Amino acid sequence: MTRVYLADSLFDERSALRLVLLDLNMTVVGEAADWPTILADAPATRLDMLLIDWDLLPINFGVQSLAKLRLACLGEIVVVLISHLEARLQAALSVSADAFVSKSESPERVALHLRLAAAKVQKL
């Protein structure tokens, strides 16, 4: 079973994502609504996948912050939730986010992206 750490500032979005993850037989091992909590808690949860809202990353340091988080969670799959497809997406790609999910996609499409990301976990 894939162990997922869920990070989004909005409770309603975390709740909806939690339901999608449970439907996919994934376990939510932790949640955060802010950057300091993610850094403090996520590495200790033995997660397989980190699902994080891009907007939680510190402003102007998103790319560096994601790289720092990758170092703290070596080997885990990182899925970034995004609201807009723009240059920030390309910047995040440069630090090896494993997948991106647009918040505007249907629950079925979000589930598909998460299923594909979980398949990467199984290959590690």
Task: Say yes or no to pLDDT of 26 above 90.
Answer: yes
**Number of domains into which the chain is organized:** 1
Q: Return the closest-CA partner of residue 55 out of 12, 96, 93, 102.
A: 102
Q: What is the CATH number of the domain that holds 8?
A: 3.40.50.2300
For tokens 């080997």, name the residue.
75
Phi, psi of 103 (to 5 degrees): -65, -15
The stretches of 1-124 forming alpha helices (DSSP H) are 11-23, 35-41, 62-72, 87-93, 107-123
Q: What is the pLDDT of residues 69-112, one digit of tens each?
A: 777 776 677 787 777 656 555 555 555 577 778 888 888 998 99
Higher pLDDT pick, 86 / 26: 26
Q: Do you know the residue count of the chain?
A: 124
Give the pLDDT confidence of 43-78 residue by residue, as tens digits: 899 889 989 888 887 766 656 677 777 777 766 777
Name the residue range of residue 71's domain.
Answer: 3-123
- pLDDT category at 20 given cuts 50, 70, 90 is very high
